[in-house]
């Protein structure tokens, strides 16, 4: 009964949302294009929408359609002519922003929306004294519209593609995708209206969420097959130039000459598979195993005793997301806050090493083939002439001679008084609040860097201490194989092979292979849990259990704290995972 009442409430909210859209469309009159659908209106006297320009906030009415954003500034003489920001451009983007008077960046309640160039960039603040929910909801709305058109460009056929008329209903695929996005926005509006936003708004809009979720690209592929797939028209089947390609591969539907088929036989043309995600390994595995059916197929969206393609992909996406969330939970539990430093000085001290690394990257990318060739000749001469034992002594000798030369030149006064000083530029003039905020952001940057470093060390600890036995086994096998290679082959040949690998990674014939291998390593690294971190409560030097009991001295009884998957006794206790 409770679920039925909740369903009725949601349906009523959706009805009111659609009624509000229809009413607002008639109110706005000719301010919008006739082929655009109004999705959401942002206008309220208590919670206005502010558009920031040159540190000045202009209140107005914000309207979101299925193609663009419209802002009508409210002046002393009434509303002005609405401004339009296109969201269908391929360079459109939206992100969170902070605003405030005089560039102070005090209020974290705004978004920055741009369309193609920085000149078409809006900074919109959604005033909400109860929190950041309103800004997050609007961010999800705008992100969904931008994401659905990005999805159409990546997975859909072109508007002028003649093959779109060879598949029944494919010409309506773009409209179906946009309608699906608008329905997601309507559901999110309804949940906001009845105050049931228990999840982050970005997780409730499908195209934006799937563009960032693990295994989300495969779900987008199934949605593309659902929107643009359909039965072949008879004349297209009988055409001679297409008949060799329309044979379905029973072993691998995603092979080089096969099209993709939905559960009901609807075809999605091979020429439309232009997205790089179709070539991924998990995509190939999914489409290879999706051809097995166990249920009764009534339509592509309705299967009895089995799941359709979108449902199958969503199950895998949910499982992958749970694994990522569990891994992220261990990382959050392992982070420790409160480590300040000076970022500008650190960057200046690391500048020589950064210059050396950049010059080496130029050699590695063969930007100057003559320099790279000379470098390789020198390296291979050192390797195969058995001069590796002289490299370290020669390097130490050159360092010592350089230091002595600098010492001599400095004693002669040829280097100047300012030689050796580290020079950094001061921050621009600012008030006290700006300095505090800048210091806070700098501390947060260093803290984030150290947190990531600690998480990496904790993951290495997990590998060596068998926190995840399967990962430890794989790493141990790789180490054993490496040791066997070093025992069988002389070291100079191994070093020569790795040098060849290092200088050919960015070349055309190896670039895709290296990229796929690095993506595989990154995926494996992200799946490793961080080792649990135990933080015991502080114990002062003057507190001694021998002089006073714990209750009499004002101390609490020993408590058990759970952090990062461990249970810890806070005083003289034993920690156990």
Res 11 pLDDT > 90 = no
Exposed / middle / buried, residue 284 (Cβ in 10 Å: 0-12, 13-18, 19+): middle
Of 181, 156, 182, whose CA–CA distance to 171 is shortest?
156
**Which of 97-106, 291-300, 392-401, 466-475 is predicted least confidently?**
291-300
Mean pLDDT of 92-104: 86
Distance CA 530, CA 463 (A): 9
The C-alpha atoms of residue 398 and residue 401 are separated, in whole angstroms, by 5
pLDDT, one tens digit per residue, over 43-97 is: 777 778 899 888 888 888 899 999 999 998 887 666 678 889 999 999 999 999 9
Mean pLDDT of the region 460-489 = 90
Residues present in the chain in total: 577
**Which whole-number Å values give the CA distances from 156 to 208, 216, 236, 443, in the listed order?**
17, 16, 19, 45
Q: Are 43 and 62 in contact (CB under 8 A)?
A: yes
Distance CA 281, CA 279 (A): 7
Residues 484-505 have pLDDT tens digits of 998 998 888 888 888 888 888 8
Domains identified in the chain and CATH numbers: 2-131 (2.30.29.30), 148-326 (no CATH), 339-385+426-529 (no CATH), 534-577 (no CATH)
Higher-confidence residue of 133 and 481: namely 481
How is residue 94 written in tokens?
């939206």
At residue 15, the pLDDT reads 54
| Residue, of 343 and 256, whose pLDDT is higher | 343
The mean pLDDT of 354-371, rounded to a whole number, is: 86
- Whether 350 has a pLDDT exceeding 70, the answer reads yes
Q: Give the pLDDT score at 12.
A: 53
Rounded to the nearest integer, the mean pLDDT of the chain is: 77
Mean pLDDT of 523-539: 84
Mean pLDDT for 311-327 is 86
pTM over 0.85: no
pLDDT in tens, 417-451: 667 776 666 656 666 676 677 777 777 887 888 88
pLDDT at 112: 93
Gap between the Cα atoms of 199 and 321, Å rounded:
14
Q: Are 424 and 348 in contact (CB under 8 A)?
A: yes
Rounded Cα distance between 474 and 530, Å, is 17
Query: Which residues, including other chains, have CB under 8 Å from residue 252's CB and lie 6 or more apart?
Result: 258, 284, 287, 288
Q: What is the DSSP letter of 65?
A: E
Q: Which residue did the predictor score with more confidence, 9 or 79? A: 79
Q: What angle do CA 279, 281, 284 make, to 5 degrees?
A: 70
Alpha carbon of 363 to those of 284, 367, 495, 506: distances in Å? 36, 6, 18, 11
Summarize pLDDT for 297-316 with one digit per residue, the tens: 777 767 776 788 888 889 88
Spatial distance between the Cα atoms of 496 and 501, rounded to a whole number of angstroms: 9
- pLDDT band for 153, please (50, 70, 90 cuts): very high
- The predicted-structure confidence for 229-259, as pLDDT tens digits, reads as follows 888 886 544 443 443 333 343 334 444 447 8
Tokens 């659609």 identify what position? 18
CA distances from 221 to 89, 122, 168, 292, 306 (A): 21, 32, 19, 18, 19
Number of H helices, E strands in the chain: 16, 15
For the segment 186-191, the average pLDDT, to the nearest whole number, is: 91
Residue 103: pLDDT over 50 = yes
- Please give the Cα distance from 223 to 309 (Å, whole number): 8
Mean pLDDT of 163-183: 90
Confidence of residue 111 (pLDDT cuts 50, 70, 90): very high
Task: Tell me the mean pLDDT in the region 174-178.
Answer: 93
Q: What band does 576 get if pLDDT is binned at 50, 70 and 90?
A: very low
């Amino acid at each position: 009964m409770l679920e039925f009442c909740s369903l009725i409430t949601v349906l009523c909210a959706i009805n009111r949302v659609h009624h509000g859209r229809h009413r607002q469309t008639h109110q706005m009159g000719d301010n919008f294009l006739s082929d655009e659908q109004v999705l959401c209106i942002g206008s309220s006297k208590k919670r206005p929408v502010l558009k920031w320009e040159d540190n000045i906030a202009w209140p107005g009415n914000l309207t979101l359609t299925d193609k663009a954003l419209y802002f009508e500034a409210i002046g002393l003489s009434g509303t002005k002519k609405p401004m339009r920001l296109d969201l269908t451009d391929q360079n459109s983007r939206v992100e969170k922003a902070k605003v405030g008077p005089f560039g102070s960046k005090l209020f974290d309640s705004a978004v920055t929306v741009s369309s193609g160039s920085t000149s078409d960039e809006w900074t919109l603040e959604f005033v909400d004294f109860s929190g950041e929910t309103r800004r997050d909801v609007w961010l999800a709305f705008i992100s969904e519209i931008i994401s659905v058109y990005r999805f159409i460009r990546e997975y859909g056929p072109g508007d002028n593609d003649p093959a779109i008329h060879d598949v029944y209903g494919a010409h309506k695929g773009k409209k179906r995708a946009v309608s699906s996005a608008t329905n997601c926005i309507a559901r999110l509006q309804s949940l906001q209206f009845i105050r049931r936003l228990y999840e982050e708004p970005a997780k409730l809009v499908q195209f934006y969420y799937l563009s960032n979720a693990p295994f989300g690209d495969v779900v987008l592929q199934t949605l593309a097959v659902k929107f643009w797939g359909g039965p072949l028209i008879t004349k297209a089947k009988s055409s001679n130039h297409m008949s060799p390609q329309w044979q379905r591969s029973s072993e691998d539907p995603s092979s080089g000459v096969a099209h993709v088929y939905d559960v009901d036989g609807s075809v999605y043309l091979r020429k439309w598979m232009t997205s790089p995600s179709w070539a991924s390994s998990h995509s190939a595995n999914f489409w290879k195993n999706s051809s097995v059916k166990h249920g009764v197929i009534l339509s592509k969206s309705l299967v009895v005793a089995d799941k359709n393609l979108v449902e199958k992909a969503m199950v895998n996406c949910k499982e992958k997301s749970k694994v990522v969330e569990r891994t992220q939970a261990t990382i959050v539990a392992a982070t420790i806050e409160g480590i300040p430093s000076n970022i500008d000085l650190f960057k200046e001290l690391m500048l020589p090493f950064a210059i050396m690394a950049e010059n080496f990257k130029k050699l590695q990318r063969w930007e100057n083939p003559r320099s790279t060739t000379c470098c390789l000749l020198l390296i291979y001469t050192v390797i195969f002439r058995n001069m590796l034992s002289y490299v370290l002594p020669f390097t130490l000798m050159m360092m010592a001679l350089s230091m002595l030369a600098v010492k001599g030149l400095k004693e002669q006064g040829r280097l100047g008084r300012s030689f050796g000083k580290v020079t950094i530029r001061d921050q621009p003039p600012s008030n006290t609040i700006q300095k505090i905020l800048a210091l806070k952001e700098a501390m947060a940057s260093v803290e984030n860097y150290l947190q990531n470093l600690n998480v990496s060390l904790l993951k290495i600890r997990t590998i060596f201490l068998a926190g995840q036995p399967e990962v430890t086994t794989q790493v141990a096998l790789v180490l054993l194989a490496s040791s066997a290679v070093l025992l069988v082959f002389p070291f100079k040949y191994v070093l020569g092979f790795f040098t060849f690998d290092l200088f050919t990674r960015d070349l055309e014939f190896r670039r895709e292979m290296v990229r796929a291998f690095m993506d595989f390593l990154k995926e494996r690294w992200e799946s490793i849990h961080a080792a649990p971190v135990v933080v015991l409560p502080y114990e002062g030097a003057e507190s001694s259990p021998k002089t006073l009991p714990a209750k009499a001295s004002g101390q609490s009884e020993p408590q058990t704290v759970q952090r990062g998957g461990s249970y810890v006794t806070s005083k003289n206790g034993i920690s156990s995972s």
